[in-house]
Amino acid sequence: MAKEFKPETLCVQAGWTPSKGEPRVLPIYQSTTFKYDTSEQMARLFDLEDSGYFYTRLQNPTNDAVAAKIAALEGGVAAMLTSSGQAANFYAIFNICQAGDHFISSSAIYGGTFNLFSVTMKKLGIEVTFINPDATEDEINAAFRPNTKALFGETVSNPSLEVLDIEKFARIAHSNGVPLIIDNTFPTPINCRPFEWGADIVIHSTTKYMDGHATSVGGAIVDSGNFDWDAHADKFPGLCTPDESYHGLTYTKAFGKLAFITKATAQLMRDLGSIQSPQNAFLLNLGLETLHLRMPRHCENALKVAQYLEKNEKVAWVNYCGLPGNKYYNLAQKYMPNGSCGVISFGLKGGRDESIRFMDNLKLAAIVTHVADARTCVLHPASHTHRQLSDEQLIEAGVRPDLIRLSVGIENADDIIADIDQALNA
Ligand SMILES: *Cc1c(COP(=O)(O)O)cnc(C)c1O
């Protein structure tokens, strides 16, 4: 089940293909452990000589079926699920960076990722340089160092909604001999497939549209299989030289295009253990089965709401890359011609205090620390998700203090607009 099917079919059918007499629906393998007949069989699994399940901290069949669906949707060769989007981003970087290494990230990223990169990774001895994603290629190239191991960005940044020029970023990464890692959470593979534009690794917070119903925190890492690690073996010793914790096995030699995901599973999951629960993977799979139906509705509703806000005299500014005139409209049309996502940001003329008053008056749209699910919701990043950032860091992350993040759901657009209207006029 792969390239011959279109995304809609992959959403419904990919990943789990039962044989005769097996359950039609992906089962929840709620088991920590798996049985073998001989000691030798189990030993071969521990040496990575055979593939198979032995302990759910490393791999679980429910998770693998869902990961396979996400890999098929992105057009990748392999994927793994993690317990959260944060874990996915951490693993994607930590799989190729160690103490003394450096990587470069767009500054327009999710607040949690910003903290992970700038604070926690630093404590591990891994340094990040943030660059403005709209900087010129020369400016971004100038941030590379001999120990730089990756370039990172978000397709559509949360919450600043800047659209990344993926082709530009891929060119820069590859001319410096490093992979481009893209967080594709907001568009999902329904609206954008970064591998088609040169990205090497894609990560997701599956917590958002993929689950889509706000039931399960989760993440995913997908590998395109396209980056030639051995061509830059000096930069990636973890993948290209023997791993002493697996009797001197070399991932690129033993697993070829599956090296990145195999190493992240065999080493990072083994040692750090941020596995997604099979129960959550099951719920994620249900969400994925309708992703192709929900994404167009999110985009359609968001555009209607953005157009309404743009015309309202109480609104100071609206940021939605689907609006002609938006700074990122052309990039959005190029990378996401069918729409980007359902998230809009805007500010009110009354500023920060007025924004808070408006939010408190909403009835249908709820104030929640969430984004990108079926129910319309709002958040004030400066008071909530980005609270830990200084004003300077807020601006650097593209978050104005008055910014309201509105995640437009799949209810009736007129009802959503009526709710916003009454809250603006209350
Ligand atoms: C939410 C989010 C994350 C973090 O994901 P969690 O599942 O909450 O850990 C990472 N990147 C983006 C773009 C997000 O929106």
Summarised one tens digit per residue, pLDDT across range 93-113 is 999 999 999 999 999 999 899
Rounded to whole angstroms, the Cα distance separating 30 from 51 reads 20
**Buried (b) or exposed (e) across 196-234, using 16+ Cβ within 10 A?**
ebbbbbbbbbbbbbbbbebebbbbbbbbbbbbebeebee
113 Cβ below 6 A of ligand 1? yes
**Residue located nearest, by CA, to atom 12 of ligand 1:** 110
Please report the pLDDT score of residue 382 as a whole number: 82
**CA 161 to ligand 1 centroid distance, Å:** 14
**Residue located nearest, by CA, to atom 7 of ligand 1:** 85
E strands, 247-312, in order: none
Q: Which atom of ligand 1 is nearest to the CA of 157?
A: 13
326 Cβ below 6 A of ligand 1? no
| Element holding 153 (H helix, E strand) | strand 148-154
The stretches of 312-407 forming alpha helices (DSSP H) are 329-335, 351-361, 391-396
**CA 247 to ligand 1 centroid distance, Å:** 35
**CA 341 to ligand 1 centroid distance, Å:** 15
Q: Which atom of ligand 1 is nearest to the CA of 154?
A: 13
Q: Which amino acid is at 198?
A: G
Tokens of 267: 């080493």
Handedness of CA 200, 203, 209, 211 (dihedral sign): positive
Rounded to whole angstroms, the Cα distance separating 172 from 198 reads 11
Q: Which atom of ligand 1 is nearest to the CA of 217?
A: 7
**CA 26 to ligand 1 centroid distance, Å:** 25
**CA 344 to ligand 1 centroid distance, Å:** 17
Please report the pLDDT score of residue 310 as a whole number: 97
| Element holding 222 (H helix, E strand) | strand 219-223
pTM of the predicted protein model: 0.96
For a ligand 1 pocket test, name from 93, 208, 274, 377 the mutation site with the most ligand atoms within 8 angstroms of its C-beta. 208
Long-range pairs for 254-257 at CB < 8 Å and ≥24 separation?
254/48, 257/77, 257/78, 257/223, 257/225
Burial class (CB in 10 A: 0-12, 13-18, 19+), 110: buried
Please report the pLDDT score of residue 351 as a whole number: 80
Please report the pLDDT score of residue 245 as a whole number: 86
185 Cβ below 6 A of ligand 1? yes
Rg (CA), the chain: 22
Beta-strand pair 404-407/377-379: antiparallel
For a ligand 1 pocket test, name from 89, 90, 157, 207 the mutation site with the most ligand atoms within 8 angstroms of its C-beta. 207
183 Cβ below 6 A of ligand 1? yes
**231 phi and psi angles, rounded to 5 deg:** -70, -15
**CA 423 to ligand 1 centroid distance, Å:** 28
**CA 422 to ligand 1 centroid distance, Å:** 31
Q: Is 187 left (phi over 0), alpha (psi -120 to 50) or beta?
A: alpha
**Residue located nearest, by CA, to atom 15 of ligand 1:** 158
**CA 7 to ligand 1 centroid distance, Å:** 23
Q: Which amino acid is at 202?
A: V
**CA 46 to ligand 1 centroid distance, Å:** 32
**CA 34 to ligand 1 centroid distance, Å:** 31
Q: Could you read off the pLDDT of 284-338 as tens digits, one per residue?
A: 999 999 999 999 999 999 999 999 999 999 999 999 999 999 999 999 999 999 9
Q: pLDDT below 70 — which residues of the chain?
A: 1-3, 397
Structural domains in the chain, CATH included, are 7-287 (3.40.640.10), 294-425 (3.90.1150.10)
Rounded to whole angstroms, the Cα distance separating 236 from 73 reads 27
**CA 202 to ligand 1 centroid distance, Å:** 13
For a ligand 1 pocket test, name from 93, 110, 345 the mutation site with the most ligand atoms within 8 angstroms of its C-beta. 110
Please report the pLDDT score of residue 81 as a whole number: 98
Rounded to whole angstroms, the Cα distance separating 16 from 223 reads 19
Please report the pLDDT score of residue 1 as a whole number: 52
Rounded to whole angstroms, the Cα distance separating 251 from 259 reads 5
154 Cβ below 6 A of ligand 1? yes
